[in-house]
Chains A and B, each alone.
Chain A
């Protein structure tokens, strides 16, 4: 039953196995595996920075300052002022050249039973849709204001979403 042909099959099987294993080993050991942790860290740093900036913009500088700054920016459509302040905080460093972060922002609000989105700040020329951008959000309470567009006159909480990327 057992003859030379069988031995040949066995040797072929062993050789194929060895080749496959060697290939797998070479592939794994030469491929640069970009782990989830590596990608997460720059994102986490940007997210933390963006959250800090929104929180600080939402913190009055003194007790007397009753006006909510973020609400004013949204209410009065002061997108340019918001962008200047936001990027001013974001790009500030303790020494050397300032950072090179860019942003766009949307406001999500409720209109009757519909959830709508309004572009608060359009992305600038650096936006190619291939950036590794992060999203930071903050709820902002708008007070009653007649004739407000597009969010409507009634008081409501709107969601400010900022997209942040490094050019």
Chain B
């Protein structure tokens, strides 16, 4: 009796051990691929929303076709201290799918061991940002949705309300926009609200230019802009003084800057000058600023040089590109939604 029981129990235990060892194999079939996709989508969402990418400075989004391989990770956050606050220049660069290939998105944002398909989209509340990259969505994809805000660059709009400040009868026909990096990069100002010309474009728009014309001669309806030049000074040097920054002023390059005069594009030193009657718009891109080797102590000046004899404009003075809301309009952060789908 006891031997029979022992034999039966032994066989039962052996069989039980065999089955228990088979259990992980049984459960392996229950592993859903959807779980993996959700995890990859979540990770991609975190990289995009909470990370500024690598390299940070000069930022990855400034790399051109020749330096694309230097990009290690594409993150959209303004900084690692400001999760969910995206930088508009990074957003614009990221969704440029004529520059980035599907493999770039896989290698620099998704980081999967297998070539996942993806669909990444971003839409702001007001619809001004509406981007999508990737393939159409199939059934059964991994998904994450993140709510974000988009930081946009400031714009200095110099209209006729400044005319009394920036005109003088014996003008030197030179108007300056000054950027004091010590003030702009003040650490007490949070990255979400900071003006940082190293990562965002600097926009200067002079509108209502007729308010700056020399009206003593009623026939004058324009002035000649000869040059736009960049000067820098480091106040920490022993004898600080402004020096002109060497730059390809004659070459039009929209990667570095755009200069629009009365709606037409020009170089910074147009041949023979160009007549301005209504407005001047200059956008200095971060790629150009990176050539200027500026640090947190530098002062950058953008000088608009007019040249007419006799003088046709009374514009003069220095406009400070700073946190004064009168001088620079900084748009509110834009609420938006980012969706990542992986399969």
A35 to B24, CA, bound (A): 13
Query: A28 and B23: CB pair below 8 A?
Result: yes
Query: B146 and A52: CB pair below 8 A?
Result: yes
State which size class the interface on B falls in.
35 or more
What 1/0 mask marks residues of chain B from 5 to 49 whose CB sits below 8 Å from any chain A CB?
101110110011001000100110010101100100010010000
The verdict on A44 contacting B26 (CB below 8 Å), with A17-B11, A56-B335 known, is no
- Identify which of A60-68, A103-111, A151-159 touches chain B: A60-68
Chain A residue numbers with a CB within 8 Å of B189 are: 63
A28 to B335, CA, bound (A): 48
Query: B4 and A52: CB pair below 8 A?
Result: no
Minimum CB–CB distance from A39 to chain B (whole Å) comes to: 11
Minimum CB distance partner of A61 in chain B: B332
Minimum CB distance partner of A35 in chain B: B30
Query: A56 and B84: CB pair below 8 A?
Result: yes
What 1/0 mask marks residues of chain B from 117 to 145 whose CB sits below 8 Å from any chain A CB?
00001110100001010000000000111
Q: Is the interface of B mostly helix, strand, loop or mixed?
A: mixed
Is the CB of A146 closer than 8 A to any CB of chain B? no
Minimum CB–CB distance from A10 to chain B (whole Å) comes to: 5
Query: B125 and A92: CB pair below 8 A?
Result: yes
A41 to B43, CA, bound (A): 13
Chain A residue numbers with a CB within 8 Å of B71 are: none
A9 to B26, CA, bound (A): 32
Is the CB of B248 closer than 8 A to any CB of chain A? no
Q: Which of B3, B9, B143, B192 contacts A59 (CB 8 A)?
A: B192
Query: B8 and A13: CB pair below 8 A?
Result: yes
Q: In the complex, which residues 207-240 of chain B have their Cβ closer than 8 Å to any Cβ of chain A?
A: none
A62 to B329, CA, bound (A): 11
Is the CB of B166 closer than 8 A to any CB of chain A? no
A13 to B2, CA, bound (A): 12
Query: B339 and A14: CB pair below 8 A?
Result: no
Query: B8 and A9: CB pair below 8 A?
Result: yes
A6 to B27, CA, bound (A): 38
The verdict on A63 contacting B193 (CB below 8 Å), with A9-B8, A21-B19, A49-B146 known, is yes
A33 to B130, CA, bound (A): 40
Chain B residue numbers with a CB within 8 Å of A55 are: 83-84
Minimum CB distance partner of B8 in chain A: A13
Chain A residue numbers with a CB within 8 Å of B111 are: none
The verdict on A41 contacting B84 (CB below 8 Å), with A2-B3, A53-B147 known, is no
What 1/0 mask marks residues of chain B from 223 to 261 whose CB sits below 8 Å from any chain A CB?
000000000000000000000000000000000000000
Chain B residue numbers with a CB within 8 Å of A28 are: 23, 26
**Most B CB within 10 A of own CB, among A13, A14, A60, A94:** A94
Query: A92 and B193: CB pair below 8 A?
Result: no
Is the CB of B177 closer than 8 A to any CB of chain A? no
What 1/0 mask marks residues of chain B from 143 to 186 whose CB sits below 8 Å from any chain A CB?
11111110000000000000000000000000000000000000
Is the CB of B109 closer than 8 A to any CB of chain A? no
Chain A residue numbers with a CB within 8 Å of B147 are: 49, 52-53, 56, 89-90, 92
A28 to B28, CA, bound (A): 12
Is the CB of B85 closer than 8 A to any CB of chain A? yes
Minimum CB distance partner of A14 in chain B: B11
Minimum CB–CB distance from B304 to chain A (whole Å) comes to: 28
The verdict on A93 contacting B15 (CB below 8 Å), with A10-B7, A62-B333, A64-B325 known, is no
Query: A25 and B11: CB pair below 8 A?
Result: no
A20 to B16, CA, bound (A): 10
Q: Which of B3, B34, B145 contacts A49 (CB 8 A)?
A: B145
A61 to B334, CA, bound (A): 8
Q: Which of A12, A59, A94 contacts B333 (CB 8 A)?
A: A59
Chain B residue numbers with a CB within 8 Å of A93 are: 123, 145, 337, 339
Is the CB of B323 closer than 8 A to any CB of chain A? yes
Q: In the complex, which residues 58-95 of chain A have their Cβ closer than 8 Å to any Cβ of chain B?
A: 59-64, 89-90, 92-95
Q: In the complex, which residues 1-34 of chain A have their Cβ closer than 8 Å to any Cβ of chain B?
A: 2, 6-7, 9-10, 12-14, 17-18, 20-21, 24-25, 28-29, 32-33
Name 16 interchain pairs, CB-CB below 8 A, sorted by A: A6-B1, A9-B4, A13-B5, A13-B8, A17-B8, A21-B19, A32-B30, A33-B30, A37-B35, A53-B147, A55-B84, A90-B147, A93-B145, A94-B122, A94-B337, A95-B121
- A-B contacts besides A35-B30, A56-B149, 7 pairs, CB < 8 Å: A2-B3, A24-B19, A45-B38, A56-B147, A56-B335, A92-B125, A93-B337
